Every structure is written in C-alpha cells, then in structure tokens.
C-alpha cells in the first residue's frame, strides 16, 4: 500500500491537524473527541448544522465547515461511523440556542449514533432535529444499511440548508428544507478501481482489467452489477436513465420530534423527475478520476436529461464526496425549485466549496 500517510493509527488525526493549520479562518478542530467546527461558532441566532460520518470521503464533511454550509462535522475513522459523544460534543459546541440540525447519511452506524447523540443533546436542553439522506437509487439494502444509502445529495443538502440557516431559517424550516432536498435528490455511482482502506492495506474489492462496477457505494459496497468497461456515453446514459426513471420511493423514517424528546415514525414519499423539471446536476469524482473525464460525463448527462425534458440549470463537477483514491464517479440529480436555487446560489465560504464570499 502506497499512501501519503504516517502511522496507520494517526491517519485521521494527522489529516485533521493539517486542516486546522491550513484553515484557521474557517474552522477549528477538537481532538478529544474529534470534531471540526466553525472558527466563529456558535453563531448567534443561527440554527447550527452538524453532519459527520466515516472519514475517507473528503472534502465531505470537514471541508464543508464554514459560512453558508456546516457548523460542525464529526469524522469517524476511515469508513467507520463516528461515535455519539463526538456528535453530542460537537452539537454543544456549535449550538447558539437556535437548535441543531443533524444531516445524517443513511448508514446503520451513522443512524444509530446520531440518534443517541440527539437524545444526549436533548437531555441537555438542546433542540435537535435529525434528517436522513437516502438518495442512492442503485440498491435498496446493502451491507452497510437498511434502505437506500445516503450519498451525493448530502453535499447538496449541506450547501442549500446551510445557506437557509445563514438566512435566518429556524430549526423546523431547516429540517423541512433538508427533507425536501432529500426527497428531490437521487444519485448513482460507479467504480473503475477499488480503493484501499489504510487499516486494511489491500483493495476493498477486486475488479478485472476490463471490468467496472455499476451502483457502487461510497465505501466500495457492492453495486448492482459488474460489466465490461464501456464508453463514457454508455455508462452515463445507463446511470442517468436509472436516476431519471426512478419510481416514487416510500419509506418510514424515525424523526426526532424536537421539543418533545421522542421519536416519531414518519412516512415519506419521494417526488420522481418529470418532463419540465429543472435540476441541479452534480457529477462527482470518487477521488481518483480526474475532472477532465467528468466533463465527458457531464456532456452526455446534459443530453440524456434534455431528451427526457429535464433541464440542468446548475451544476457541480469535481471530487466532493469521494472514496479515498477510488476511480469512478457518481451522478446526482436534484429537482430544483425557487427556494432550492436561491440557497444554492447564495454565498458559501468553506475550504471545499467557496463562491460569492
């Protein structure tokens, strides 16, 4: 295994140290327990956004801490959920009294630990709402989770809800918007190569020299199928069609009822894409695929969407939710209404995403 790391046990710690030194204007890092938080936290009067998950997906989430996006991010070890005490301590550090929104990718460990953190925070009198992102159309259940996995829409939700919080949305409004973004967003990924988790020291899976995996998860979880290497156009069309033609998806999620300190079972149904929709398109590198190749994908994606009457009105193209050095890419489409576009366009100032500020 060849990586730019030092001791195996210190991989995450050393990356966080580097971030803290590189970006003191944006963020600070707490090491015991580990979390990244806005340099100016708590921000008076503002709902605080906290996300987190296993490391290895950088810049998500720590790189999205800053004005107009996250207030806090809790990194686990590589591809391993962070612990409830990280989330709880982070929530305490960033809470300004207006409450804390947890944005949680749907992986079993993340879900359980954020639930426990919500209860701990509530016991301290911190208002918490927790919204689940489960946007991956590729597989219904996987090694890591029940239901759909949470992937690319997470980045878009953090940007959009982050801007809304900055604009003065209260906790319930932030939660509603985040839920809408999740219901409007769908993703699918593919891998050209595996990645190597440092602690494992060998590829997570093996792919033949002429094979790719369609529907891969961000931890290298098995996807839908392995196929022979195809052209960028073929791969893009296959994935875009699955996303665009995805059916309404109903699931029951546990949502924290805020003040009442209890969980409610809530039924949610997605809104599939229709001709006439405007969307934000996010073409993401899994880490090792260069942005040049993403542009070939984007060109075809634009064409496939147009043929379905779906118009891409904004885009994000690059490595934002990665799987270490894995080669491959994912596509996320997010149906965009006026509210979503307004907050997408708003200024953001984080190490990983920055415009207008």
Which residues are part of the catalytic machinery?
A: 57, 219
For the CB of residue 214, give the shortest distance to its own copies in the complex, in Å: 13
Among the residue ranges 17-25, 105-113, 143-151, 258-266, the one whose residues contact its own copies (CB under 8 A)? 17-25
x/- map, 204-223, its own copies, by CB under 8 A: -----xx-x-----------
CB nearer its own copies, residue 269 or residue 315: 315
Residue 241 binding its own copies, by CB under 8 A: no
Residue 288 binding its own copies, by CB under 8 A: yes
Q: Are 71 and 49 in contact (CB under 8 A)?
A: yes
Q: Which of residues 21-60 bind its own copies (CB under 8 A)?
A: 21-22, 55-56, 58-59
The residue within the footprint of its own copies, chosen from 226, 317, 341, 342 (CB under 8 A), is 317
x/- map, 326-345, its own copies, by CB under 8 A: -x-x----------------
Q: State how far Cα 158 lies from the chain centre.
A: 7
Sign of CA dihedral 72, 101, 156, 193: positive
CB nearer its own copies, residue 81 or residue 182: 81
Q: What is the Cα–Cα distance from 76 to 67, expressed in whole angstroms?
A: 23
Q: Strands 100-105, 354-355: parallel, antiparallel or unpaired by DSSP?
A: unpaired
Residue 302 binding its own copies, by CB under 8 A: yes
Q: Token match 């639930």: residue? A: 115
Residue 280 binding its own copies, by CB under 8 A: no
Strands (E), the chain: 27-31, 34-38, 48-55, 72-78, 100-105, 128-133, 185-191, 211-214, 225-228, 250-256, 263-269, 278-285, 311-318, 328-335, 348-349, 354-355
What's the per-residue H, E or C state across 175-211? HHHHHHHHHHEEEEEEECCCCECCCCCCECCCCCCCE
Residues lying near its own copies in the complex (CB under 8 A) are found at 2-6, 11, 14-19, 21-22, 55-56, 58-59, 63, 192-193, 209-210, 212, 229, 231-233, 235, 287-299, 302, 315, 317, 319, 322, 324-325, 327, 329, 349, 351-352, 354-357
């Amino acid at each position: 295994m060849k990586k730019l790391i030092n001791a195996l046990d210190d991989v995450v710690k050393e990356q966080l140290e580097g971030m803290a030194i590189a970006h003191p204007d944006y963020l600070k890092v707490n090491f015991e327990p580990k979390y990244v938080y806005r340099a100016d936290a708590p921000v008076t009067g503002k709902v605080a956004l906290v996300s987190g998950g296993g490391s290895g997906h950088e810049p998500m989430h720590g790189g999205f801490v800053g004005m107009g996006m996250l207030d806090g991010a809790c990194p686990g070890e590589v591809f391993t959920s962070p612990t409830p005490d990280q989330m709880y301590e982070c929530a305490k550090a960033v809470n300004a009294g207006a409450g804390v929104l947890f944005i949680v990718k749907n992986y079993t460990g993340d879900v359980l630990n954020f639930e426990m953190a919500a209860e701990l925070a509530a016991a301290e009198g911190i208002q918490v709402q927790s919204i689940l992102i489960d946007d991956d159309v590729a597989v219904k259940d996987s090694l890591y989770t029940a239901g759909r996995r949470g992937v690319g829409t997470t980045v878009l939700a953090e940007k959009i809800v982050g801007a809304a919080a900055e604009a003065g949305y209260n906790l319930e409004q932030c939660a509603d918007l985040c839920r809408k973004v999740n219901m409007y967003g769908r993703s699918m990924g593919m891998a050209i190569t595996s990645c190597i988790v440092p602690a494992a020291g060998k590829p997570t899976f093996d792919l033949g020299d002429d094979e790719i995996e369609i529907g891969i998860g961000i931890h290298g979880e098995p996807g839908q199928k392995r196929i022979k290497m195809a052209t960028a156009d073929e791969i893009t069309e296959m994935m875009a069609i699955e996303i665009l033609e995805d059916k309404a998806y109903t699931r029951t999620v546990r949502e924290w009822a805020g003040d009442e300190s209890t969980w409610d079972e809530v039924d949610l149904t997605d809104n599939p894409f229709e001709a006439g929709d405007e969307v934000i398109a996010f073409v993401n590198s899994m880490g090792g695929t260069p942005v040049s190749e993403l542009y070939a994908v984007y060109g075809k994606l634009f064409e496939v969407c147009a043929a379905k009457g779906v118009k891409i009105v904004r885009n994000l193209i690059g490595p934002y939710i990665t799987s270490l050095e894995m080669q491959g890419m994912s596509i996320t489409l997010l149906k965009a209404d006026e509210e979503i576009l307004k907050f997408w366009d708003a200024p953001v100032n984080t190490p990983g995403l920055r415009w207008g500020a």
